[in-house]
Amino acid sequence: MSWTEHVIWWHAYPLGFVGAPIREPDGAGPHHRLRRLVPWLDHITRLGANGLLLGPIFASTTHGYDTEDFFRIDPRLGDESDFDALVAAAHERGIKVCLDGVFNHVSEHHPFVRDALANGPGSEYGQWFRIDWSHPEGPRPDVFEGHGSLVALNHAHPPVQEYVAQVIGYWSDRGVDAWRLDAAYSVDSAFWRAVLPRARERQPHLWFLGEVIHGDYPAIVEAATFDSVTQYELWKAMWSSLKDGNFFELDHALQRHNEFLDTFAPNTFIGNHDVTRIATQIGTDKAVLALVLLMTVGGVPSIYAGDELGYEGLKEERWGGDDAIRPEFPETRPTSDPTLDRYKAMVSIRRRYPWLHSARTKTLKLENTEYSYQLYDGEGHALTIDLGLEPRPNAVIRNERGETLFGF
């Protein structure tokens, strides 16, 4: 069996986690802040998780998604020795490491961008980016979703494909086990189909997760040769069905999820670095029901660091609007609190029943505020989950013998 059938990711945004300045100067580096994650590895294992999914760590201008150098650790985080120490410490504990590969775009300050704009379309890097060279106001680079500081790569250009394959190979050779491919939905599948097989030839164990918001997930996985994609459909249904008292939305999404599981195991989550914290979105009690869903339905689950500690944070569409959901973490790790204890209990159930990785769901009862479903694997294993919103949020998980495994 593949290690990916057992992995539970703990997703951290490093720049925020270690308190690095995002938009202000940081002085001469490197600043060895990345090592602040090492003590939290024991928290990951106590939680029951076994994967560390890192946000961007390569040299960048501000938030990490504006890369300036793919072959250098961001000096606000440290250097390669800090990275090697973190990977070694993770692997010593049986924790896999996933990096955030931002390969759709780079910073406007990337040296290749500056070279292309200075020397024109016939220069060494002139075709590396999608640039309108005939624009009346001068060369106009294509940018990512209106962000002028994020210049889009020309993914049809073979040297770009070779470059990204080299980046993946370089860090994978240093111990990386998996890659989250940022904004994968903005990149033509032909690019991934050209790059990822090269990486797998070099490191066959690699797992690739494409960030995809919507669309035909199975077709995208096949065309791009991803191993998985982010299951945003289910994420939205989980929180909004609980918030609105509409389990019909959740049931529809779970039936779709069953179909996806026929071809791949989606990455499931109730929080990440781009969305409002689950406790803020629907309240603490309903967040427990979202946790039950996350840890019982099929797929590869991710826990966004801090959700297991009851962190709150509102995502806002403004400059700096991500700060609240990407906070600095303390150096001390809590060992017990009500939210953490519930996360440990649910992760423990996931560990006790590893077949949940590929489990399908069957609807047993469906009303606006009550929902019961059975998880099964086709080999006689089954769990039954009852969710309710009245008179207060409640959840019960029972095994095949009707014994209660978890109640809230």
Average pLDDT of the chain? Answer: 96
Average of per-residue pLDDT across 170-199 = 98
Torsion of Cα atoms, 153 then 156 then 159 then 161, to 10°: 80
Q: Which CATH fold would you assign to the domain 3-358? A: TIM Barrel (3.20.20)
Angle made by CA atoms 234, 273, 310, in degrees to the nearest 5: 85
Banded model confidence at residue 307, pLDDT cuts 50, 70, 90:
very high
pLDDT of residue 28: 83
CB-based contacts of 280: which residues, under 8 Å, 6+ apart? 312, 313, 314
DSSP assignment, residue 225?
A: T
Q: What is the pTM of this model?
A: 0.97
Quote the CA–CA distance of 71 and 56 in Å, as a whole number: 12
Banded model confidence at residue 191, pLDDT cuts 50, 70, 90:
very high
Please report where in the chains the tokens 């096949």 appear, as a residue.
Answer: 222
Quote the CA–CA distance of 63 and 55 in Å, as a whole number: 10
Quote the CA–CA distance of 322 and 358 in Å, as a whole number: 33
Quote the CA–CA distance of 198 and 162 in Å, as a whole number: 9
pLDDT of residue 1: 54
Predicted confidence (pLDDT) at residue 227 exceeds the cutoff of 60 = yes
Q: Are 163 and 125 in contact (CB under 8 A)?
A: no
Summarize pLDDT for 52-64 with one digit per residue, the tens: 999 999 999 999 9
Domain boundaries, the chain: 3-358
Handedness of CA 337, 338, 343, 348 (dihedral sign): positive
State phi, psi for 97 to the nearest 5 degrees: -125, 130
